[in-house]
Amino acid sequence: MKLAGIDLAWHCNKNPTAIAVGNLADGVLRVVSIDVSILPVDQIINKLLSITGLSGVAIDASLIIPNKTGQRMCENEIAKQYGAMGASCHASNLTLYPEAASVALSQKLYEYGFEHLGMSKWQIECYPHPAMIEIFGLSRRLAYKKGLVADKKAGQKHLTRLIKRLHKNLILPLYLEPDIHMYLDESRINTLKGKEIKSNEDALDAIICLYIAGLYAMDASGKTFGDITNGYIWVPQGSVLVK
């Protein structure tokens, strides 16, 4: 089964989007490729459609935004459960994002048969911060996106060590093709500068999105915050903790 995880840039015509592609077979998820580049929605769709047998996509972006102002219901629900752990969501609404690329991408996927929270061919909205709290058994959101450069690098290296532990996961082992290991190489992370730091962060996020897709495909324990009318976020739950 082919799966994809997407860390979608809000302004994907200007900023890079990361796409991780994997193969789920015999209860093992293998990351086979990662692409980090500036891709408008049509190019993202073309890339996904070029993946033979793609069954599911997990996307870190707001896929359904019906509300004019405020937060979506799912964002409020996430804040109630994970806010004290530092994993609340930014607000998504039509005032802030009247023509969100994420919504356009989701609608295009739906036109090609990828149903929200579907079974055989599907798309799901995910949010890596609460997902990682569940997957890795964290007491607080992992900090690797903000702060000083040294803090970002330290956070990325922490995340890479956690990702490497997933090959021992009893629910869904994760393996990486040789070309993927560069993104988890702590020595390389130490040398990154400027936009390279953000690019590597995006690649790591895409791996997490792909792993979330794998858990959903395996019918692992999960919770849907919100619904497909008002917007939703699927988050794996505690049974997927690293053993």
Does any domain span residue 11? yes
pLDDT at 10: 79
Q: What is the pLDDT of residues 65-95, one digit of tens each?
A: 999 999 999 999 999 999 999 988 989 999 9
Question: Taking the model in full, what pTM does it have?
Answer: 0.95
Does any domain span residue 124? yes
pLDDT, the chain, mean: 93
DSSP 8-state class, residue 40: -
pLDDT at 239: 53
Rounded CA separation 201/17 (Å): 11
**CB within 8 Å of 69: residues ≥ 6 apart:** 93, 94, 95
pLDDT at 109: 97
Main-chain phi, psi angles of 197, to 5 degrees: -65, -45
What domain range is 63 assigned to? 2-236
Here the CATH number for the domain that contains residue 145 is 3.30.420
Under the phi-then-psi rule, with left for phi > 0, alpha for psi from -120 to 50, and beta for the rest, what region is 241?
A: beta
Weakly modelled stretches of the chain, pLDDT under 50: 241-243
Does any domain span residue 243? no
Does any domain span residue 229? yes
- How many residues does the structure list for the chain? 243
Please report how the helices 149-165 and 128-136 are oriented relative to each other, as an axis angle in degrees rounded to 10: 50
pLDDT at 243: 47
Candidates 57, 36, 34, 60; CA nearest to 45 is: 57
Rg (CA), the chain: 17
Does any domain span residue 78? yes
Number of domains in the chain: 1
Other Cβ atoms within 10 Å of 11 Cβ, number: 10
pLDDT at 81: 95
Does any domain span residue 241? no
